[in-house]
Amino acid sequence: MSRTIKLRKGLDIKLQGEAEKVKITAKVTTAAIKPTDFHGLIPKMTVKVGDKVKTGSVIFFDKYQEDIKFVSPIAGEIEDIVRGEKRKILEVRIKPDGSNAAEDFGIINPDSMDEAAAKKALLANGLWPFIKMRPLDVIARPTDSPKAIFVSGFDSAPLAPDFDFVLHGEKEAFQAGITVLSKLTAGKVHLTLRGNGTTDEALKGVKGVQTNTIFGKHPAGNVGTQIHHIDPVNKGEVVWTVNAIDVALIGRSILAGKFDSSRIIALTGSEVSKPKYVKTHIGATIATLVDDTIKGDNVRIISGNVLTGDKVTKDGYLGFYHSQITAIPEGNEASFQLSGGGWLGAGTSKFSINRSYFSWLTPNKKRVLNTNLNGEIRSFVVTGEMEKVFPFDIYPMQLIKSTIYNDIDLMENLGIYEVAPEDFALCEFVCTSKIDIQDKIRQGLDVIQKECM
């Protein structure tokens, strides 16, 4: 039984620099796996600097769940293990040696797998980290039995890659990925597609899933929104989520019998001279992807989208889960009150959900927004603004406040089990008081993980 959901709340932020539907292939570069991409993970290294690895060779595993392995995206040599404070491992860098050597784990027919075989294949070959769990929004625990698995068929974030374009021609791989995932749950696998707009062949007629449709603005494409409206998570329940692009990656790897780290990413943002799609691999160096296309120096490069991505430098690496790089101008210059960027100005270049700036005259204009906070951090004063962009039956401000003052009972009652930080990205965007809401929600989830899970 498929479901159709219509959202009335939400917000599409229209930005300049949407990727053109052109695909180029970047050369294989130094890659890095960043343990910090996996929230809460403590890695145990299995390799040393100088070791030779193949694509798919295990480089570290989860200290507390040793089954979960993380593998090298390319073949080469461990160049460096970068550590930060308290010797926390930040990056494991792998220099390519030009070979295509890959660990061969044998081609398995996804249809003939049972649950144990599917789990084993995913865990041993570095494919497990693509599966995340709700609550908590961390890597799924292999010991759980999820009541359902959710896959979002599109990304509605600003300038997000078009899954129809990225997954075009991957029907077989996508189907294989879905088949493997369907072995992991006794419940359903939900694939939710965009209501308004087209859907590529690859995502149509997929077997073994319940296909749902969702209409509305961002965050319609967020899997959290879809879970909430289709089969919400209650206390004690677990659902798993996988990004559609990663479903195809899992499928490709299983069909080929080896880890396939290739990934098509969208190069977007107003500061990219020719926004386009680039075929590269997980953990690729940012510099080789963007180097000659970034305008100017005062630019923020983001691995991911503008709402939830991570700030990276040109020397940095693409995040494990990210299929997008965005470059927007830094807004690190003060502006006089009456000027364009000032608080008393006409504000035709500012974007706001309120109509207090004259930018409301051009609601459909694609804008260049910078990283300025556009104000100072304040107490919560304005109410009702978050509700406009938060399509959940949850009181956002009350939940945020409960995470700030650490009331576990209240967090549970208000629905902390259903949300991930990314669900609050728009709340954070619209917040008049400029509070770092995603960070607060993450802190709340950390408390819940420690005390209740």
- Considering only residues 224 to 263 of the shown chain, the ones binding other proteins according to CB under 8 A are 232, 234-235
Which of 265, 389 has the CB closer to other proteins? Answer: 389
Work out whether 434 is an interface residue with other proteins (CB under 8 A): yes
Q: Tell whether residue 394 is a contact of other proteins (CB under 8 A).
A: yes
Of 61, 54, 7, nearest in space to 31 by CA: 54
Q: Does 196 bind other proteins (CB under 8 A)?
A: no
Binding part of the chain for other proteins, among 48-56, 97-105, 172-180, 424-432 by CB under 8 A, reads 424-432
Smallest distance from the beta carbon of 41 to other proteins, in angstroms? 19
- Closest by CA to 421, choosing from 310, 325, 314, is 310
Least distance from other proteins to the Cβ atom of residue 429, Å = 5
Question: Considering only residues 201, 436, 450, 451, which one is a binding residue for other proteins as defined by CB under 8 A?
Answer: 436
The alpha carbon of residue 259 and the mean position of all alpha carbons in its chain are separated, in whole angstroms, by 20
- Segment interacting with other proteins, rule: CB under 8 A, options 28-36, 56-64, 70-78, 343-351: 343-351
User: What's the min distance (Å) between Cβ of 169 and other proteins?
Assistant: 32
- From candidates 330, 404, 449, 453, binder to other proteins by CB under 8 A: 330
Q: Which residues in 10-29 contact other proteins (CB under 8 A)?
A: 13
Terminal-to-terminal C-alpha distance of the chain: 32
> Do residues 311 and 319 make contact, with C-beta atoms less than 8 angstroms apart?
no
CB contact set of 360 (below 8 Å; sequence gap of 6+): 352
* The only residue of 40, 372, 404, 447 in contact with other proteins, by rule CB under 8 A: 372
* Pairing of β 276-281 and β 239-243: unpaired
Cis peptide before 35 (omega within 30 of 0): no
Cβ proximity to other proteins: between 37 and 260 the closer is 37
On whether the CB atoms of residues 260 and 288 are closer than 8 A, the answer is no
Check binding of 285 to other proteins (CB under 8 A). Answer: no
379 binds other proteins (CB under 8 A): yes
User: Is residue 428 a contact residue for other proteins (CB under 8 A)?
Assistant: yes
Closest CB to other proteins among residues 97, 330: 330
Q: Can residue 334 be called a binding residue for other proteins (CB under 8 A)?
A: yes
Residue 99 near other proteins by CB under 8 A: no
Rounded (10°) CA dihedral 206, 208, 211, 217: -80
| 328 near other proteins, judged by CB under 8 A | yes
Should residue 438 be labelled a site residue for other proteins when binding is judged by CB under 8 A? yes
Which of 7, 208, 314, 343 lies at the binding interface for other proteins (CB under 8 A)? 343
Four-residue CA torsion sign, 284, 286, 287, 288: positive
Q: Which of residues 289-318 bind other proteins (CB under 8 A)?
A: 300, 302, 306-309, 311
> What is the rounded distance in angstroms from the CA atom of residue 282 to the CA atom of residue 38?
14
Assign residue 130 a region (left: φ > 0; alpha: ψ between -120 and 50; beta: otherwise): alpha
Using CB under 8 A, pick the residue from 6, 111, 375, 450 that binds other proteins: 375
Q: Is 186 in the site for other proteins (CB under 8 A)?
A: no
Minimum Å gap between C-beta 399 and other proteins is 10
Phi/psi of residue 142, nearest 5 degrees: -60, -20
Among 188, 314, 331, 346, binds other proteins (CB under 8 A): 331
- Residue pair 218/7 in contact by the 8 Å Cβ criterion: no
Does position 36 interact with other proteins (CB under 8 A)? The reply is no
- Tell me if 214 contacts other proteins by CB under 8 A: no
Residues 6+ apart with CB under 8 A from 331: 341, 370, 371, 372, 373, 374
Which of 77, 215, 262, 380 is close enough to bind other proteins by CB under 8 A?
380
The residues, any chain, with a CB within 8 Å of residue 419's CB and separated by 6 or more, are 224, 392, 394, 399, 441
Among 288, 342, 408, 447, binds other proteins (CB under 8 A): 342
Write down the least CB distance from residue 329 to other proteins, Å: 10
Q: Are 91 and 38 in contact (CB under 8 A)?
A: no
Applying CB under 8 A, among 172, 201, 291, 439 the residue interacting with other proteins is: 439
The three-class DSSP label of residue 266 is strand
> Residue 381, interface with other proteins (CB under 8 A)?
yes
Strands 69-71 and 52-53: unpaired
Q: Which of residues 398-417 bind other proteins (CB under 8 A)?
A: 398, 413-415
B/e letters for 192-228, b = 16+ CB within 10 Å, e = fewer, are bbbbeeebbebbeebeebbbbbbebbbbbbbbbbbbb
Residues 352-371 that bind other proteins (CB under 8 A): 352-357, 359, 369-371
Select the residue interacting with other proteins from 191, 192, 429, 448 (CB under 8 A). 429
